[in-house]
Every structure is written in structure tokens, then in C-alpha cells.
Amino acid sequence: MGKWTRRAFITTGVLTGGALVLGVAIRPGNRAGKVAPMISDKGETVMNIWLKIAPDNTITVIVPHAEMGQGTHTTLPMMLADEMDADWKLVHMMEAPGNKEYANYALAKGFILGEKDFPSFLIDTVDGAFLTVTKQMGLQMTGGSSSVRFTGMLAMRIAGAGAKAVLLQAAADKWGVPLEELEAKNSSILHSATNRSEPFINFAQQAVTLSQPAKPKLKRPEEFTIMGTSRQRFDVPQKVDGSANFGIDVTVPNMRYATIKAAPVFGTKLKSIDDGVVANMPGVRKIVKLEDAVAVIADSYWIAKNALDQVKIVFEENGNESIDQNDIYDQYIRDMNTSLSAGKDEKDLALGDVESAFKNPGQTVEAEYRVPYLAHATLEPMNCTAHVTSDSCTLWVGCQNPLGFAMSVAELLDLEIEQVQVNNQYLGGGFGRRFVDDVALQAVRIAKEVDYPVKLIWSREEDIRHDFYREANISRFKASLDNKGKIIAWDNQFLFKHDPEEAPHIPYDVANQSIHYSVSETHVPWGYWRSVDSSMHAFFTESFIDELAHHANVDPFEFRKSQLSNAPRFLDVLEMVAEKANWNTPLPKNWGRGISLHQCFGTIVAQVVEIEMLDEKLKVHRVVCVADPGFAFHPDGFEAQMESGIIYGLTAALYGEITIKQGSVEQSNFHDYQMVRMNESPKIETHIINSGAYPGGAGEPSTPGIAPALTNAIFDATGLRIRELPIKNHSLSLKNEIIG
Amino acid sequence: MILTINGKEHEVDVDPSTPLLWVIREQCGLTGTKFGCGIGQCGACTVIMEGNAIRSCLTPLHTSIDKEITTIEGIASGTKMHALQKAWIEEQVPQCGYCQSGQLMSALALLTDNPAPNDDDIDNAMSGNICRCGTYSRIRKGIKKAAIELASTPTLKTENHG
């Protein structure tokens, strides 16, 4: 899959301005008939592409997203079941096949149009336009914290309510009673006047012949019975007894195992190999040379790995062998300076007149921040099982975009997409890494050489060194404070721009702002990393805001609070975190407290971190997290995602650092790419504000704010301002020793 | 060679230096035990051998022969889940779930040695197991909950594992 951003999407040419509605007039129609053979067994009634009813009155919800621990396989069925008034005990889920009919048009629509309302006669056309485009783009992705807010809101709830509407109509027709006298409850239709009650299935056959409304009446939050409750997740029981099947667990008949070594310097090609020692080793089946890698196929992973270790591999040189991390930073600085002085920076946000504002009397503050490259390090190493024949290819893999994978494989093998089958499995962590089809394409290239299925498993070393990395970046700020401590000008320059678009933006009242960026290409591959650009910008902006508070001699919470007059949701979140964290109570000696406030994928999160300095060792005691996602459809799952995002961000803040040496990644495994463990894991308290705003995401929004809250707490305790992550590279000592 | 896992014997015919992890997964077909790092850093491959939690990615097959080995597939008693598994469901501990077999095996070894662990005991026993989804606080709660259940039903303590 190519890089997908909101901008890229719009510039595909299909969805531009008015052409969106008028230029494309393909109606999606009722696609239930088309998908029925893929998703249903005999006797089941496919109500629409998102749900089917079985003879025993159980409902199966078809979820077009991958489960990687975020709970989407449970929360999305909850949204459909509630609108349908289904009995939750009778609801099952099934992951949608990697098929064009399940391209995420709802997701694309959500990204482009948000909650924009359309007259019902246009809905089919708009949906059709998006379906067409997402089919072409091969989008069936899980990411951008989007499942609930787009698929849930724009597909699941409507599918549930629409199905209920036609079931009610079918019952009214069958019983000859007025529609208004009927109600749906616990997967049955009731008519209280005649004391009749029959299960949904009794009306299903008739109901599917009726046209389901494009804009059915949806429930108000006070009518919810399933949404907003914390149902047990469907996937958990399999994850406590070892039976959950991850990609790496797939076993198919006659399968062999492979492992691979790709060129350590990104972009270089294979020159030659000497496999004399291993060619006849027992259990070794084949040594496969790829353009930029060598793989060994064997009877077991261990044999493959040992054999590969003994193959002498020479890669070509392409000039990148001389690049070290400092060269990249030097290049960044050069490119930023050149771009700025040539007036070539891209404008991200321009408000007021920054130039004049800096001429006004005031205190000018400048700072520069840096963040390193980061790997995803999903705990399940990259893997994919592939079986290639002359006219088909079957994959077994846990991925975040099965349709996109199928399209890439079809293109590689010159097959029709219908000849490629992707069997998506549980993902042992995604975090953005499993969007990329690199491993699947390797597996296909290897399996193409033999007539049996091959399971390709990467070593952890391969995983750390061949990721698609969150980029290293530099962000420079200059701001001016007036004598009352108000920010009157804000200038921010950084590199690169992906998603979410608002990542570098601040919620504070600053009339004059100039936010701008340029690009400084390197040979290090980039990828979506949990919270994407927010993972950097929250650290940059919320650290700098803290510096400004210090310069204004105002408490960091009060400083933020006083400049949020145009952002009432942010203000509520901030005030609640201060209250829950007892912001104004004194801390013990050598403790510190820090705060942050950031919006990411539609959810606003504030965090307060409490730390203690123990003989120059940092102890993170407690994180108080307040989040406003608009509405938390599964409160416990939402809390779990806040906890998860915080630990992920904490690992990055404390330890996360991928460095480049001689063109390749220096780190290789968990001993030098360190993770937060149980003994370093703080107490996390989450509080949710259901403000009623359009729903925001859950999987990513808590990751960005932990780093600045933590470094702000370190400043509070020690007086040391950390402007470059990770924290492990700084020697921390207590306030009195530093400031004197 | 005969390998005994969860009370069942498996005839295996591989190089005796092969790490136990790969034998369990590929020869015995028990895929609940996971590969995470291959160097004993992450704990995803944890199994119980003779009552101790060990890293099967670093344990050669030849040292595992004639030993009693328990994997995640062997901690329930028939259809009756172990108290830890029940607690894991009640606390909704797993997210992606990939590390959880290893977490449960380390927790089982901890409770076998120390039926009432405090926070420091849990830190000591569990810090060899990485959870990339950050479920640590729920793991901690799960262990405490299971400890309470095991204490109130003493028979469970001995019947479930090796």
C-alpha cells in the first residue's frame, strides 16, 4: 500500500470538491447477494453485508477490521447489536474476508467528510463513490484509531438499525398490525397489544426483500443498552489458553519454514552468496536469492536459521554505507536552514501576523527539540505463510490491510485479485507495522520457488533492523510572551508531515501563528507508528508550552488553563486532570509533577505524571489520564487502550531509540531496544468524559502525551529541561544540584 | 527422543541442540508458546519445567528430556480453567494476547512458590516478561485475584500443574 493520507486521498482525482457527489454516480446497491457466498452457510439469511441471521436466531456481525488487542471485534458488533435491539448473548462476530466488497468505504468517508450530513437520497451515491475509490485503492485497513468512529458510526450502527427497520416492517406485514405498535427487543419482535413475540429469524426471509433505509433512525445515547457498557471481549478466552491463532501459529499441510536476511543497509542489492557449507545440510530444502535478501527454506525454523547464519552473503554498496545518525541530523539542519532562508517551507498553519507580533515588546523564547527513529517491535515477529501455484496464491498472515495485501500479491504474480486469498489471523501487535506488505511479498517470492507452502519467520534482529520507522525529527520554536504572560506569537518549524493533520497544532489562544515544515529525505524507510505525527508533536509543543509557562513564571496548569478560551472541550479535560491528580497539593521531597494536553485522532487527552528521583534514578509512580472521546462505546476497552498507549509512549520516552551507523540500524533485539517492564510500569488512572462530541479514536490518543508530561515532571523535580528523547541518554540529578 | 509435555509423551526426531521452543511449536504442534526474541529477553516462550519458569528459546532439547514440562495448553484441568485464566478473563487482561501465554506461565510459577505475592514479589517474578500492549497493571490485578481464589480453594493449588 502506498502512503495514504487525507491529502493523497483527495488528490486521487475522484473525490474533489463538488465532483464527489455529482461526478461519480455508481450506486452500491444491495451487495448482500454478492457477499453471501463468502460469508454465509446454508440456512443463514444475509441481511446486509454486515450481518447475517442463523436458523437458531443467532446474529453474526461481519467486522472489516483486524483484531490486534484494541477490541474492535467486540466493540463494532456491540454497536450493530444495540441499534438492532439484538440479544447480546446471541451475537457472534466474524472477520470480513479480504475482499473488495469489504473495502473500508465508511472509513474513507469518515476521513474525508467527517460527520457531514447528507440528504438520504444522496447516501447511496456518496457511499458508492467511496466504495469505488476504496476498492481501487485496496483499502481494508485497521488504523488511524478509526474503527469505531468511522466503520462503527457509518456502517455498523446504520446496518443494525436498517436491519431492524425491515424486520419490523416484515412483522407488521405478516401480522397485519400497524408498524408503530411493534417493538424490537432481545432479538425478537413484540406486539404487546396481542401479546405476540417471535424471533428475528422468523421475519428474516421476508425482510431481506424490503429495501433497507439509508438513513434509519439511530438511538440517542440515553436509549443505548449495549453501547457504553463493557462487554467481555470475544477474543480473550482464546488468548488465555493458547488457542488463539496468530499468523506465526498457522500450520498447513506440507508446509516448510523459511527465514531471511535482507541487506542491512537500506536500499542495497544482493551481490553474491557462498552457500557451499549449507547446501547439503540435513533438513535444508532450498536457498533462495532475492533482489535484496537471502532466504533459506528448511524443515524447521531452527535449521533454516542456522543454515542462513552460515551462508556467506555479500551485498552491493550504494553509497549509504557511510551514513551515521549524526550525518542525518546534520542534513536535517542544513535542509531546514536552506528551506527557511529560501522561503520554501510548506505552510501548515498561518494565523494573524507573526512577523509584526515578534516586533511588539515581549519576552522571546526559543528552543529546539529532537526525537529519534523508533521501531514498532510488535512482540510477534514479522511472518507470513504463502502457498503459490500457477494460478493462485494463498496467504496466512496477521495484517492491518488484507485487501491491500491481496492486491499487491496479485500485481506481483500477475494474477487477478480473485485468485489471491488472504486469510487474516490475530495480530501479535500491529501499531502500524502490519500495514506494510513487505514480509508478505517476500514470502510470496520465496514460496514461488517451490511447490509447497512456506512459512517465513523473521528473527527479532531482522524485525528491529528492517522496520518502517517513526522518523527522527527536529522541531524549532520561537514564541513571544507579553508582560501578562500571554503568548502573542508562535513560530514552529519542523520536518515531514503525515497524519493526523492537526498533530502540530495547539489548542491555545495564540492570535499570531506560523507553523511550517520542509522535507529532508533519507534512506531510512518511514512507516505509520502508533499515533504517527502526534507521537512527536505532542512532545514538541507541550514541552515548549511548559517552557513558556516557566518563563512567564506561571504554574504550568494555570498557564494552559488561562489560554483555552476558544477550546472548551480541552479546558474541561485539563481541569479534570488537575482535579483528579490533586495538582495543587504539595509533593514529597524529590518528587515532581508534569502535565500535558493533546488531541489525537479526535480524542482529547490530558495527563499528569508523578515521578520521584531516587539517587539520580527516575521512578515513574503514577499517571492520571483524562480523555474525552466524545463517547466511549466500550468504557473498559477504552481504558485499556489508554493504559496501553501510555506504556507504549513511556517505553519510547524512556528508552526508544533507533540509530543509524554505517547506513544500517545499530540496535537488534530487546537488550538494546529496551522496553518498559512490570517493575517500571506506573499506576495509571483513567477518567472518561463523554462530552457528546463526534466519537474520537481509542488506540492511539494516549501515546503522544506521556512523553511531555514526563519530561515536564522531570523539569519540576530537577530543573533539567529534556529537549531530546529518549530520557535514558540524559543524566538526571536533583534540582538543588543542577540549579544551585 | 521422548519429550513429556502436559503429561503427554511426544516422540521427536530433531537435532538435540534445537531450542525446546521450536520443538514444542513445530514438532509437538503446541503453538500457545510463542517466539519473541530468541535470546531470553522477552519471556514469550516461558514454560514450566520441573516447577520452574524457564525460557524455552534458550533451553536445548537434550536438557529437556525426562523432565516434566507444562505449557499454556496444560494449565487447565480438563475444561476447568485455572484460577489465573479465570482472573485473566475477569480483568480482561490480554490485548493482542501474544505475550499472555508467557505471562501466565510466569505467574503460575510465582503463585506456586509464593501463594500471596506482594507488589515487589510480582515485580521480581514478572519483569522478565515484556508486554508490548502494556497490560502490566491488569496482569498485576489478575495475579492478586487468582491468589485470593487459590487461597480460598486449596485443592486447586496442587491439582493443576507440574
Three-state SS annotation for A610-668: EEEEECCEEEEEEEEEEEECCCCCCHHHHHHHHHHHHHHHHHHHHCCCECEECCEECCC
Interface probe, candidates B92, B93, B108, B129, chain A, greatest A C-beta count within 10 A: B92
Q: Let me know whether B95 and B150 are in one domain.
A: yes
Strand order in the sheet with A45-48: A45-48, A51-53, A59-63, A91-95
Q: Let me know whether A528 and A639 are in one domain.
A: yes
Looking up residue B141, the CATH number of its domain turns out to be: 1.10.150.120
User: Which pLDDT does position B157 carry in this prediction?
Assistant: 47
Of B104, B127, B134, the CB nearest to A647: B134
Q: Let me know whether A525 and A596 are in one domain.
A: yes
Of B25, B35, B81, the CB nearest to A381: B35
Q: Let me know whether B55 and B89 are in one domain.
A: no
Listed by number, the residues of chain A in 558-617 with a beta carbon closer than 8 Å to a beta carbon of chain B are none
Residue of chain B nearest A70, judged by CA positions? B95
Residue of chain A nearest B38, judged by CA positions? A460
* Cβ–Cβ contact A686 with B under 8 A: no
Listed residues A197, A229, A261: the one ending a domain: A229
Listed residues B32, B51, B74: the one ending a domain: B74
* Cβ–Cβ contact B38 with A under 8 A: yes
Which residues of A are less than 8 Å from B88 in CB distance? 236, 240
Interface probe, candidates B131, B133, B160, chain A, greatest A C-beta count within 10 A: B133
Size of interface A-B (CB pairs under 8 A): 180
Q: Let me know whether B112 and B66 are in one domain.
A: no
Q: Let me know whether A491 and A585 are in one domain.
A: yes
Which residues of B are less than 8 Å from A379 in CB distance? 34, 36, 42, 44, 96, 98-99, 130-132
Domain-embedded: residue A338 = no
Check residue A593 and report its DSSP letter. Answer: E
Whether the CB-CB separation of B141 and B107 falls below 8 Å is answered with no
User: Which pLDDT does position A233 carry in this prediction?
Assistant: 97
Which residues of B are less than 8 Å from A427 in CB distance? 96
Distance from CA of A635 to the nearest CA of B (A): 12
Of A640, A675, A679, the CB nearest to B95: A640
Interface probe, candidates A67, A232, A233, A239, chain B, greatest B C-beta count within 10 A: A239
Of B19, B32, B38, the CB nearest to A460: B38
Q: Let me know whether B50 and B98 are in one domain.
A: no
What lies within 8 Å, CB to CB, of A404 at 6+ separation is: A1, A137, A138, A139, A140, A141, A435, A437
* Cβ–Cβ contact B22 with A under 8 A: yes
At B160, the pLDDT band (50, 70, 90 cuts) reads very low
Instruction: With CA atoms as reference, report the closest residue to A257 among A7, A450, A16, A490.
Output: A450
Q: Let me know whether A441 and A579 are in one domain.
A: no
Distance from CA of A28 to the nearest CA of B (A): 34
* Cβ–Cβ contact A258 with B under 8 A: no
Q: Let me know whether B31 and B90 are in one domain.
A: no
Which residues of B are less than 8 Å from A457 in CB distance? 35
Distance from CA of B10 to the nearest CA of A (A): 17
Q: Let me know whether A615 and A680 are in one domain.
A: yes
* Cβ–Cβ contact A619 with B under 8 A: no
User: Which pLDDT does position A134 carry in this prediction?
Assistant: 64
Check residue B92 and report its DSSP letter. Answer: T
Q: Let me know whether A620 and A556 are in one domain.
A: yes
Of B88, B123, B132, the CB nearest to A679: B123
Domain-embedded: residue A434 = yes
Subunit contact A678:B18, Cβ cutoff 8 A: no
User: Residues in chain A, how many?
Assistant: 740
* Cβ–Cβ contact B60 with A under 8 A: no
Q: Let me know whether B68 and B91 are in one domain.
A: no
Q: Let me know whether A523 and A577 are in one domain.
A: yes
Instruction: With CA atoms as reference, report the closest residue to A496 among A2, A1, A113, A3.
Output: A3
User: Which pLDDT does position A152 carry in this prediction?
Assistant: 84
Which is it for the CA torsion B6, B11, B15, B17, positive or negative? Answer: positive
Instruction: With CA atoms as reference, report the closest residue to A702 among A566, A597, A550.
Output: A597
Which residues of A are less than 8 Å from B81 in CB distance? 240-241
Q: Let me know whether A590 and A643 are in one domain.
A: yes
Q: Let me know whether A101 and A60 are in one domain.
A: yes
Domain-embedded: residue A413 = yes
Cα gap B48→B59, rounded to integer Å: 12
- What are the per-10-residue average pLDDT scores of chain A (740 residues)? 37 33 34 76 86 95 89 95 98 86 64 53 59 62 75 86 95 97 98 97 93 87 97 97 98 98 97 93 97 98 98 96 98 98 97 96 96 98 98 96 90 93 95 96 98 98 98 98 96 96 97 98 97 98 98 98 97 98 96 97 97 91 98 97 98 98 98 98 98 93 98 96 97 55
Distance from CA of B162 to the nearest CA of A (A): 16
Q: Let me know whether B104 and B70 are in one domain.
A: no
Q: Whole domain around residue B57: which residue ranges?
A: 2-74
Subunit contact B96:A460, Cβ cutoff 8 A: no
Q: Let me know whether A219 and A254 are in one domain.
A: no
Q: Whole domain around residue A404: which residue ranges?
A: 247-318+382-457
Look at chain B and report how many structural domains it folds into: 2
The full DSSP string for A436-481 is --HHHHHHHHHHTTSSS-EEEE--HHHHHHT--BBPPEEEEEEEEE
Distance from CA of B34 to the nearest CA of A (A): 8
Look at chain A and report how many structural domains it folds into: 3
Q: Let me know whether B62 and B130 are in one domain.
A: no
Whether the CB-CB separation of A736 and A550 falls below 8 Å is answered with no
* Cβ–Cβ contact B42 with A under 8 A: yes
Subunit contact A236:B124, Cβ cutoff 8 A: no
Domain-embedded: residue A346 = no
Listed by number, the residues of chain A in 649-678 with a beta carbon closer than 8 Å to a beta carbon of chain B are 650, 669-671, 675-678
Check residue A695 and report its DSSP letter. Answer: P
Helix (H, G, I), strand (E, B) or coil at A416: coil
Listed by number, the residues of chain A in 113-132 with a beta carbon closer than 8 Å to a beta carbon of chain B are none
Q: Let me know whether B153 and B87 are in one domain.
A: yes
Which residues of A are less than 8 Å from B33 in CB distance? 242
Domain-embedded: residue A571 = yes
Listed residues B74, B102, B130: the one ending a domain: B74
3-class DSSP string for A154-187: HHHHHHHHHHHHHHHHHHHHHHCCCHHHEEEECC
Looking up residue B41, the CATH number of its domain turns out to be: 3.10.20.30
Listed residues A410, A427, A457: the one ending a domain: A457
Distance from CA of A378 to the nearest CA of B (A): 7
Looking up residue A139, the CATH number of its domain turns out to be: 3.30.365.10
Q: Is the pTM of this model over 0.90?
A: yes
Cis peptide bond upstream of A586, omega within 30 = no
Distance from CA of A619 to the nearest CA of B (A): 14
Q: Let me know whether B69 and B130 are in one domain.
A: no
Of B22, B71, B140, the CB nearest to A242: B71
Q: Let me know whether A606 and A704 are in one domain.
A: yes
Cα gap A728→A535, rounded to integer Å: 18
Which residues of A are less than 8 Å from B139 in CB distance? 678
Instruction: With CA atoms as reference, report the closest residue to A576 among A487, A649, A685, A682.
Output: A685
Which residues of A are less than 8 Å from B73 in CB distance? 241-243
Domain-embedded: residue A370 = no
* Cβ–Cβ contact A66 with B under 8 A: no
Residue that has been written with the C-alpha cell 454497536 in this structure: A79
3-state helix, strand, coil in chain A (%, to 5): 35, 25, 40
Q: Let me know whether B90 and B42 are in one domain.
A: no
Of B38, B100, B138, the CB nearest to A239: B100
Listed residues B40, B74, B108: the one ending a domain: B74
Q: Let me know whether A162 and A271 are in one domain.
A: no
* Cβ–Cβ contact A371 with B under 8 A: no
Q: Let me know whether B69 and B114 are in one domain.
A: no
